Amino acid sequence: LLKKKGIKLIKLKTDKNNFFDLKFVLKQAYLLGCRNLLVEGGKTLTDTFFKKKLLDWKNEIIKSNSKILFVNNDQEISSPDIVDQASSQTEKTVEMRTLNRQRKLLAKIDQAINKIKNDTYGYCEETGEPIGIKRLVARPIATLSIEAQEKHERNEKIFADS
């Protein structure tokens, strides 16, 4: 009956943990000409995928920040050579900027994880429309749809030019 209506059922292969690669599935669906995809448990599936992706990203950032903090040595700052001191100070400034950016990114990741818990993840904060899987795969912390983001950037540019 489904085949007569043009609906094709595809059984997906999973790994030993019963997970599958969402990027692979979306690519295969696209190659098959599929423009609509209905997945049993789809909301749970995508939420789980993005939560894992966000948590992995968060852990990676925390791990890299720990390395920066532990590797940090202050020997050059007390060096009698003024060039070594300046170089060391510049390096520390760059490290602090990086840590600050990553701190802000961690906050955005936490916000995205909270949105998953609150069932508001994947919806544009400005329009309420779905953001879109492709955009979320590329930028899991996106809070605006592409159209809303472009509008925001145009307004920002106009304001900056004034």
pLDDT one-digit tens code per residue, 77-99: 566 777 777 777 788 888 888 88
Calpha distance 37→43 (Å, rounded): 12
Calpha distance 52→46 (Å, rounded): 10
Sole residue written with tokens 């590797």: 71
Q: H/E element holding 88? A: helix 82-117
Tell me the whole-structure pTM to 2 decimals.
0.64
Calpha distance 66→69 (Å, rounded): 5
Calpha distance 84→96 (Å, rounded): 18
Specify the pLDDT at position 136: 92
Specify the pLDDT at position 56: 93
CB 20 within 8 A of CB 13: yes
Specify the pLDDT at position 48: 83
**Residues with pLDDT less than 50, the chain:** 73, 75
CB 108 within 8 A of CB 141: yes
